[in-house]
Amino acid sequence: MGMRSSLPLPSWKVVSTQILFYFILEDFIFYWGHRILHTKWLYKHVHSVHHEYATPFGLTSEYAHPAEILFLGFATIVGPAITGSHLITLCLWMVLRVLETVEAHCGYHFPLSLSNFLPLYGGADFHDYHHRLLYTKSGNYSSTFVYMDCYAFLYKKTDLPQSDDYSKDFSKDFDLPQSDDFIKDDFSKAKR
């Protein structure tokens, strides 16, 4: 359960195997934690901070209540804690995890997005749809892969606009409220 920082460095095979294990384990734990955060009380008092943005962008990936950061952050560190990874592996894992969550919140489906190559990868369209729903009608709780949402019949596939047209105002493509009144209306419904 310790962490190594000495030489020799782990092989790429060890690093890639551990990173894959971390993604799968983190996704499983995150899924259940995220579903718990969508219960009425926790959503209202904790997770609603993250959902203040119905149309998220990259920086909103880390915008959350401190309790949520601690709660869901556990999913990120449990894999390295179990395997006693090397410091290099831990740093690479953290970088990849942050890149994944920023990509999932960016609002664009880029041509080189992993969801074009990995069928179980959620990506931006998967998570963007999650942010557009009220907490009680939500789905797409997973952080990286879609297998848990498919298993629980909560997977909802949508398509985001392609990112090659930067001049277009994509907000008109979706029937989304654009004001703070929408958020206030959602919270008043949640209070009932």
Q: What pLDDT does residue 101 have?
A: 86
Helices (runs of H) and strands (runs of E) counted in the chain:
7, 0
The stretch 157-170 carries a mean pLDDT of 44
- Note the residue count of the chain: 192
What mean pLDDT value characterizes the chain? 77
Residue 6 within a domain = no
82-102 pLDDT, tens digit per residue, is 999 999 999 999 999 998 888
Distances (CA, A) of 163 to 28, 64, 77, 132, 168: 29, 26, 32, 19, 10
Query: How many independent structural domains does the chain possess?
Result: 1
State the pLDDT confidence band at 187, using cuts at 50, 70 and 90. very low
Residue 157 within a domain = yes
Q: What pLDDT does residue 39 have?
A: 87
State the pLDDT confidence band at 67, using cuts at 50, 70 and 90. very high
* Alpha-carbon 158 to chain mean position: 16
Percentage of the chain beyond pLDDT 90 is 31
- Provide the 10 A C-beta neighbour count for residue 164: 9
Residue 120 within a domain = yes
Two tokens, residue 166? 């930067």
pLDDT exceeds cutoff 80 at 159? no
Residue 1 within a domain = no
Residue 26 within a domain = yes
Residue 148 within a domain = yes
Residue with the larger pLDDT of the pair 3 and 71: 71
Q: Tell me the backbone φ, ψ of residue 85, rounded to 5 degrees.
A: -65, 165
Q: What pLDDT does residue 68 have?
A: 92
Rounded Cα distance between 33 and 57, Å, is 22
pLDDT exceeds cutoff 80 at 128? no
Residue 39 within a domain = yes
Percentage of the chain beyond pLDDT 70 is 75
CB within 8 Å of 83: residues ≥ 6 apart: 18, 21
The stretch 182-190 carries a mean pLDDT of 42
Full domain range(s) for residue 50: 12-162+170-191
pLDDT exceeds cutoff 50 at 170? no
User: 131 in helix, strand or coil?
Assistant: helix
